[in-house]
Amino acid sequence: MIYTVTVNPSLDYIIDVDSFKTGTINRTKAEKLIAGGKGINVSIVLHNLGIETRALGFAAGFTGNEIERRLNDHGVQTGFIHVNSGFSRINAKMRSIESDSVVEETEINGQGPLLTKEDLNHLYEKLEELKEGDTLVLAGSIPSTLPLENPQSLYSDIMAKLSGKGVRFVVDATRDLLKKSLAYKPFLVKPNNHELGEIFGVELKTREEVVPYAQKFREMGAQNVLVSMAGEGAVLAAADGKIYKGEAPKCTLVNSVGAGDSMVAGFIAGYQKSGDYKEAFKMGLCTGSASACSEHLADKEQVQKLLENYTGLQE
């Protein structure tokens, strides 16, 4: 079973506005409401690809109930801890449209509910259910409302509690939250090129520039380092010591929300199917692009179509 943890899930309100202008009234051209959060996105895409998954995290208020309802209606198993304070956040994501093309995306993200130590202990109890062979995906940022002296230690704390149980860890996070996880040798980490560059104090624009820093991350403990680069594709420093570079599959960008999470899901699904890092990388690239070039998160048919035509992989 593949479990995901989204500490601060959301309802994402996504709107399209023609030629957005500040300081005046703008009217939406299109709008939709979806369950959001990095771990949730991973679970949805895994389910779309036919992989069994369960989404864990915290839910509060009417928005928390709606997030869980939407996931269950989609067919994704859930195990949220319901908290008593506040409500799960609403994130507004606006796309400015000109000549039927997205020219700019703007996000306003909510805070989320106040969490207690008891809430956190309930999460730890649920995670005790994991057993050897399971995969745990820890994805997204940690809210300031978390009752920890150092919230950036949450993922490493979870990994420490599960250490020795044979659980495979996947981490998609930034800064200290990601760096602290490396001590537990996660199976996969997925920073993007900007996040990786920020950690090392450099600017990384090309796949060639990313390679040595992805290798450094492997030396620091990660087994596989998958670096997403939006339209530039991605780089994989694999556990077998090989470096793979891939162009982004050709398609028209529609919605970048969830593309990196979809890449994580695709890699996991590809590795589970083939046991091969190269094939997993290819699947990750095509799954990420399938989401980026669609109004919804990637499904099996879209991914398969991109895989059949993809020739942009280099070793």
The pLDDT tens digits of the residues spanning 55-102 come to 999 999 999 999 999 999 999 999 999 999 899 999 998 988 877 676
How many helices (H) and strands (E) the chain has is answered by 10, 14
Is residue 258 a part of any domain in this protein?
A: yes
Does some domain include residue 295? Answer: yes
Place of tokens 């202990």: 121
Burial class (CB in 10 A: 0-12, 13-18, 19+), 71: buried
Report pLDDT for 199.
Answer: 94
Length of the chain in terms of residues written: 315
112 and 144 in contact (C-beta within 8 Å)? no
CA gap 24, 176 in Å, rounded: 40
Structure tokens at 40: 């949730």
Whether 308 is covered by a domain: the verdict is yes
Instruction: Choose the catalytic residue: 73, 240, 261, 299.
Output: 261
Spatial separation of the C-alpha atoms in residues 198 and 217, rounded to whole Å: 13
Residue 5 lies in a domain: no
pTM summary value? 0.93
pLDDT at 5: 98
Q: Does 257 map to a domain? A: yes
3-class secondary structure, 273: helix
Distances (CA, A) of 97 to 18, 26, 32, 161, 293: 5, 12, 15, 47, 15
| Distance from C-alpha of 36 to C-alpha of 225, rounded to nearest angstrom | 24
pLDDT at 252: 80
Query: Is 285 part of any domain?
Result: yes
| Rounded CA separation 303/145 (Å) | 37
Report helix angle 207-219 to 193-200, nearest 10.
60
**Bridge partners, residue 244, by sequence:** 236
Q: Flag residues of the chain having pLDDT under 50.
A: none
Q: Are 251 and 306 in contact (CB under 8 A)?
A: yes
- Answer yes or no: are the C-beta atoms of 290 and 248 closer than 8 Å: no
Residues 189 and 170: their CA atoms lie apart, in Å, by 6
Contact 7, 143 (CB under 8 A): yes
- Structure confidence at residue 192 (pLDDT): 95
With respect to residue 30, please indicate whether it lies within any of the assigned structural domains.
no
Which pLDDT does position 119 carry in this prediction?
94
In a domain, 235, yes or no: yes
d(CA 194, CA 312): 22
User: What is the domain count for the chain?
Assistant: 1
261 a catalytic residue:
yes
| pLDDT for res 144 | 79
CA–CA distances in Å: residue 269 to residues 88, 121, 247: 29, 30, 20
Q: Packing angle between helix 61-74 and helix 38-48, nearest 10 degrees?
A: 20
pLDDT number for residue 297: 93
How many angstroms separate the CA atoms of 191 and 227, rounded? 5
pLDDT given at position 268: 98
Other Cβ atoms within 10 Å of 254 Cβ, number = 15
Range of the domain at 264: 187-315
What is the per-residue pLDDT across 190-223, written as a single tens digit (0 to 9) for each? 999 999 999 999 999 999 999 999 999 999 999 9
CATH code, domain carrying 242: 3.40.1190.20
The pLDDT of residue 176: 92
d(C-alpha 201, C-alpha 223), whole Å: 22
